[in-house]
């Protein structure tokens, strides 16, 4: 396991909120494969795979490591829950 990904339509807001709480996140694979330069020769464009494009705009990677302490995992979960409660 190397990524713990959640999905929300409020991804950018959540990412900013978590950063303020010192929970650092990432956006892995922000560009769907069919829109990357390496695959341009296939001729796919925006709208070819709308679900992939939606996911790329909504996924957020939370901290994930065997080095995380239980307290850190709980803190991250609490901050995510707090964001959605407000």
Q: What is the pLDDT of residue 2?
A: 85
Count of CB atoms within 10 A of residue 23's CB?
19
Q: What is the pLDDT of residues 40-51, one digit of tens each?
A: 999 999 999 999
- pLDDT score of 84 more than 80: yes
Q: What is the pLDDT of residues 30-82, one digit of tens each?
A: 999 999 999 999 999 999 999 999 999 999 999 999 999 999 999 999 999 99
Contacts of 57 (CB under 8 A, 6+ apart): 11
Q: What is the pLDDT of residue 70?
A: 97
Q: What is the pLDDT of residue 1?
A: 74
């Amino acid at each position: 396991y190397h990524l713990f990904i959640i999905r929300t339509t409020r991804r950018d807001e959540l990412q900013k909120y978590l950063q303020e709480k010192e929970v650092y996140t990432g956006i892995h694979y922000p560009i769907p494969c069919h829109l990357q330069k390496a695959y341009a020769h296939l001729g796919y464009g925006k709208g070819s795979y709308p679900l992939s494009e939606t996911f790329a705009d909504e996924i957020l990677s939370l901290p994930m490591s065997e080095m995380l302490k239980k307290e850190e995992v709980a803190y991250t979960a609490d901050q995510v829950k707090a964001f959605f409660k407000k």
